[in-house]
Amino acid sequence: MRRNLVLFAAILLGGCGGQLPLKSTSQLQVVNDTALPAPVRTDLVAQGRDSLIGPLDTIAVDVFNVPELSREVQVDPGGSISLPLIGTVDARGKTSVELARAIEGALRSNYVRNPEVTVNVRNSVSQVVAVDGQVAEPGLYPVTNQMTLGRAIASAKGLSEFAKLDDVVILRTVNGQRMAGLYNMTAIRRGLYADPAVYPNDVIVVGDSPARRLFKDFVSVTPLLAAPLIALIQK
């Protein structure tokens, strides 16, 4: 993940030669990147594009050849589950495979020989993205490891009739720092740049919003066409 943060950075847009460099403001610090960096485990908690277990998710625990230990459980608000023989297990922020290995280790220490455990997420309510603004159905939507901005908007039943396609903001926390990316859906649809990945805990806002207005000074200098505009939100 590139985080070459600078106080004065130029966003070079294809076909817009000779434009002025974009300067940071009191609220935003321009980042010399063309994409929002991915959050890390301490932000979501998550890493990469893995699907992580969180509070109130429902999971199925299957212990091979030990049906009395197999069951479907809901993760409690603190991120833990309770299982026979081993008691409480911390599930929060783990992948299904990581939780299965943790359960195997706990069973092994309680005299279960060579346990084989499989964990599957039946229903996830913790891995969601918020979609707000000029979409047909604003709300919280589940995030898969293939979620993109366009797919998140489609999950919200698409853009409203008079939505501003050039005013789409993704808000994200990366390494504890709030960041924002301004995107143009028309540019994405024309293939001028890639449909960006979306992660759990992202907030997507379509149309005019306080987040969008943070970018007003930058967009008045140059149109947002060939690249998104990425910035840190100053504390």
Query: What would the pLDDT profile of 48-80 be if each residue is shown by its tens digit?
Result: 456 788 888 999 999 999 999 999 999 998 889
The answer on 117 and 172 residing in a single domain is no
Q: Please tell me whether residues 24 and 94 are part of one structural domain.
A: no
Domain with 77 in it: what CATH number? 3.30.1950.10
19 found inside a domain: yes
Domain co-membership, 106 together with 199: no
222 and 151 in one domain?
yes
| Mean of per-residue pLDDT scores for the chain | 79
Residue 49 in any domain: the answer is: no
| Residues 135, 119 share a domain | no
198 burial type by CB count under 10 A (0-12 exposed, 13-18 middle, 19+ buried) = buried
pTM higher than 0.85, yes or no? no
| Number of independent structural domains in the chain | 2
**12 or 129: which leads in pLDDT:** 129
Coil, strand or helix: which one is 4? coil
229 within a domain of the structure (yes/no): yes
Give the mean pLDDT of 15-43: 60
Contact 58, 123 (CB under 8 A): yes
Q: Are residues 168 and 210 in the same domain?
A: yes
Please check whether residues 176 and 206 belong to one and the same domain. yes
User: Could you tell me if residue 52 is inside a domain?
Assistant: no
Q: Which domain, by its residues, includes 160?
A: 8-44+127-233
189 SS3 class: helix
pLDDT of 7 above 50: no
* End-of-domain residue from the set 88, 106, 123: 123
Q: Which amino acid is at 54?
A: G
If asked whether residues 24 and 139 sit together in one domain, one would say: yes
Q: What is the pLDDT of residue 56?
A: 85
- pLDDT score, position 6: 29
On whether residue 142 sits in a domain, the answer given is: yes
Question: Where a domain ends, among 123, 138, 159?
Answer: 123
**Assigned domain for 1 exists:** no
The answer to whether residues 149 and 80 belong to one domain is no
pLDDT at 23 over 90: no
Q: What is the pLDDT of residue 26?
A: 57
Are residue 131 and residue 167 in the same domain, yes or no? yes
pLDDT tens digits along 68-114: 999 999 999 888 999 998 999 999 889 999 999 999 999 999 888 89
- Looking up residue 150, the CATH number of its domain turns out to be 3.10.560.10
| Shared-domain flag, residues 185 and 145 | yes
Burial profile 100-120: b = 16 or more Cβ within 10 angstroms, e = fewer: bebbbebbeeeebeebebebe
Give the end of a domain, one of 99, 123, 147.
123
Residues 33 and 146 in one domain: yes
Report d(CA 45, CA 51) in Å as an integer. Answer: 10
Residue 107 is predicted with a pLDDT of 94
Give domain status of residue 3, yes or no: no
